[in-house]
Amino acid sequence: MLEALLQRGRDRKKRKMNPKSLANLRPAKPFTSGHRPSKPRKLTDEQLNQAIELRANGCSWRKVGDLLKCNYQTVRSSLRRRGELKPNSGENTKLLTGGEMPSSYDPIPVKLVI
């Protein structure tokens, strides 16, 4: 009774590929600064300048996205592709309470006590 279950899947024939299809396979060109895939920006330069200005005035990413009528992640990624936004650059982050907090990538010196 179990023999039928053991045969299941083993009776399938191996796929044969046409030799002409195999001849078409070749490695892709390596990525260079002139040749690499990238998505086109959805926002214009004017919108990106407005986003930079809004962020400098203290607006949140979500608020900037709402004002530009697009997703806030789109704004962030467009600025990152343009080179205006450096993710977690090690600068201090201003808290809503008025204090400052170092970035998560800012190394904190640790003293060992023996």
Query: Using CA atoms, how far apart are residues 92 and 108, in angstroms rounded to an integer?
Result: 13
- Work out the pLDDT band at 66, boundaries 50, 70, 90: very high
Domain-embedded: residue 100: no
Domain-embedded: residue 102: no
Digit-coded pLDDT (tens) for 73-95: 999 988 888 876 655 544 444 55
With 0.75 as the threshold, say if the pTM is over it. no
Beta bridge pairs of residue 93? 101
Domain-embedded: residue 52: yes
Query: Using CA atoms, how far apart are residues 109 and 65, in angstroms rounded to an integer?
Result: 37
Q: At 72, list the tokens.
A: 């806030």
Domain-embedded: residue 55: yes
Domain carrying residue 55: 41-84
Considering its fold, how many domains does the chain have in total? 1
Domain-embedded: residue 65: yes
